[in-house]
Structure 1
Amino acid sequence: MKGSWMKGTKVSGKAAAAVKRAPSLGRTLIAFAFLALFVASGFAQTGGKLVTLKVGATPIPHGDLLQLVKPDLEAQGIKLEIVELTDYVTPNILLAEKQLDANFFQHLPYLNDFCADRKLQLESAGQVFVAPLGLYSRKYKKLEDIPAGSVITLPNDPTNEARALILLENKGLIKINPKAGLKATIRDIAENPKRIVFREIEAPQLPRTLDDAAAAIINGTWAMQSGFIPARDSLILEGAESPYANIVAVRKGDANDPRVVALVKALQTQKVKDYLISKYNGSFVPAF
C-alpha cells in the first residue's frame, strides 16, 4: 500500500484522532481500513485524479472482461489501464518487475509452475472462469476420424502439456504412465495404439499448425482468437469440472490491495457471468 494514496484525503476529526492515538500497528490497520472504505465508496482519489490499476491480459476473453468492468471500477475511483499481451511468459515477468499491478491470463497450476521455475513471488487474487482445452482440426470432424500415424500438436509448457495429454487419455486415444500425474509429458505416453506423432508448440502458435497437422490441442483463449467457438467446433473439450480456472495474479502480499480486491469483486458478478455465457456461447465457464 502506497502512503501517497492517503495524502490529501480528508477524514473526520474523530477518525484522525483515533488514528493518532492508536499504536503503530493499529495505525497501519486503521489507515488501511479507511483506504479500503474510500475505494469501495468511490473516493480513492488523490488531488482529484483516479487511482490507477495496471493489468496485463490476453485479448479474449480476458481483455474483453476487463473492458466490461472498466466503468464499474472507474465509478469506484479506480482507473483500469489494460495492457494487451499475446504470450504466456511476458505477463508474469512484467508483474514480477512491477511494471504491472496484476495480470489476467493464466490458471493457478501454470502460475505455480512458472513461479517455481523462475523463482518468482506471485499469487492468485481470485478465480474467474475456466477456458476449456480442446482438440481442433481443419481436416477431421471426429477424434475417431484421425488416421494412424497423424501429427497432433499440443502446448509445450509443462502444465498445459500434461493437461492436454490427460484430456487425450480421458478420451481413449492414449495411456499415460500413472506415475507422471500432472507432470506428464509426451515421454510419459505408455500406450499409443494409433502411433500418433505429438509435437510440442508454444501455445499462441498452435492454431497456425492446423494447416499441416491433423489436429491441435488449443486453449480456449487462442481458439476463440482464431475464430473457433470451442463448444461448437472442438472435436473433444474439457468438462466444466476442470480445476484449471483462470485467475487474477498479483505479487505476493498484494491480493488484499483494495484496488485488486475491487477488480476481483467486479469480475465475480452476475454481469460477468451473463456476459461469458451470452457472448461466448458457453465456451468459457464461470468459476465463481
Structure 2
Amino acid sequence: MSTYKLTRRRFAGAALALAFLLGPVGGALAAETIKLGVIGGDEERIWEVAKKVAAKGGLDIELISFSDYAIPNEALEKGDLDANAFQHKPYLDSQIAARGYKIVAIGYTLVAPIAFYSKKVKAFADLPQGATIGIPNDPSNGGRGLKLLEANGLIKVKADKGLLPTVLDVTDNPKNVQFKEIDAAQIPNLLPDLDGAVINTNYALGAGLSPRTDALVQESRTGNPYGNFIAVREADKDKPVFKKLVAAYQNQDVADFINANFKGAIQPAW
C-alpha cells in the first residue's frame, strides 16, 4: 500500500469522525422539510414569503400548487402532503362530513371576503327579473354565496341551515333569479354569460377582477367565519414542526406583504 493511499484514507477517516461529532457544516442542524399544498396564484405568492421566513428557522417548505379545491384534502389524507393551506372551516366541515377525513386546523392564515360581480349590470339592485346567477358548486362556498345574496336582500334562505344552505333552501326569491352551480375555478370564465356571479377572491384576482373596484357587493371583513387556515392530519397536529410552520406564516413579514399587495381584498386572519 502506498504512503499516499494510506494518508488519504486516514485523512478521510478523521474528517468523517469530525463531521460525526460536529454535525452539519458550521454545527447547524439539517433543515426539516414539509410538503404543503396551496392554491396557485396569490395564495402561493404569500406562501413564498412565509417560506423565506421558515427557512431562517431551519424549516424548508416545499409548495405543491393546486388549481382547484377538490384535491388538497385528499392528498393530505393519503399522505402525499404533510399539510395544506387553502380552506375555511365550513369547507373542511363539509369535506369531513362527505369523506370522513381526519384533518384538523392548526393556525389561521388569511381571510378573503367573497363577492358578487357582473359584466351586465352596474349595481346589485339593477339585477333583472329572472336573472341567471352563478354560485360555486361545492357545499360550503355555494352556501356562502347564498348567504351573501341573502345579506343583500336578494333572497331568503332557511335559518336552520346555518352556513350551508343550498338552492333548495331558498324560501323567498322575489326576482325569481335562476341559479347555476358551477365549479368555483370556472365561474370567472363564464361571468360574461351570466347576469352576475359570486366568485371566491383568489379566482377573482386571478381573472383580473378587483374586489375593491369591481365587486357589486361583498362579505363583511369583520366577524367573518370564513378565515382560512393551515390543516394537518389529526394524528400530526402536535408535532413541533407544525408549530414552526404556523409561526412562519403568522409573521410580520407575511402580514406586511398581504397588506401592501392586496389592499384589503385579502387580510391576515390571525
Q: CA deviation at 1:286?
A: 1.5
Structure-1 separation of matches of 2:212 and 2:199: 13
1:63 maps to amino acid? E
Extract structure 1 runs of 4+ deviating beyond 6 A.
8-11
1:157 aligns with 2:138: yes
Structure-2 separation of matches of 1:229 and 1:183: 26
* Residue matched to 2:176: 195
Alignment of 1:1-288 (within 5 A): 43-45=28-30, 50-241=31-222, 242-288=224-270
- The number of aligned residues is 247
Q: CA deviation at 1:10?
A: 7.2
**Contact preservation (8 Å) 1:155, 1:218:** yes
Structure-2 separation of matches of 1:203 and 1:123: 23
* Residue matched to 1:20: none
SS at match of 2:181: strand
State the identity %. Answer: 37
Structure-2 separation of matches of 1:115 and 1:180: 17
| Higher-Rg member (1/2) | 2
**Contact preservation (8 Å) 2:90, 2:163:** no
**Aligned Cα RMSD in Å?**
1.8
SS at match of 1:82: strand
Gaps of at least 5 residues in structure 2 are 1-18
| 1:167-187 residue CA offsets vs partner (Å, 9 max, x unmatched) | 111100111122322231011
Gaps of at least 5 residues in structure 1 are 1-7, 12-41
2:269 maps to amino acid? A
SS at match of 2:92: helix
| 1:90-137 residue CA offsets vs partner (Å, 9 max, x unmatched) | 100100010101111111121121022111100001111111110011
Structure-2 separation of matches of 1:138 and 1:61: 23
SS at match of 2:213: helix
Alpha-carbon spacing, 1:95–1:10, altered in 2? closer, same or farther (3 Å): farther
1:154 maps to amino acid? I
- Tell me the TM-score normalized by structure 1: 0.82
- Tell me the TM-score normalized by structure 2: 0.87
**Contact preservation (8 Å) 2:38, 2:64:** yes
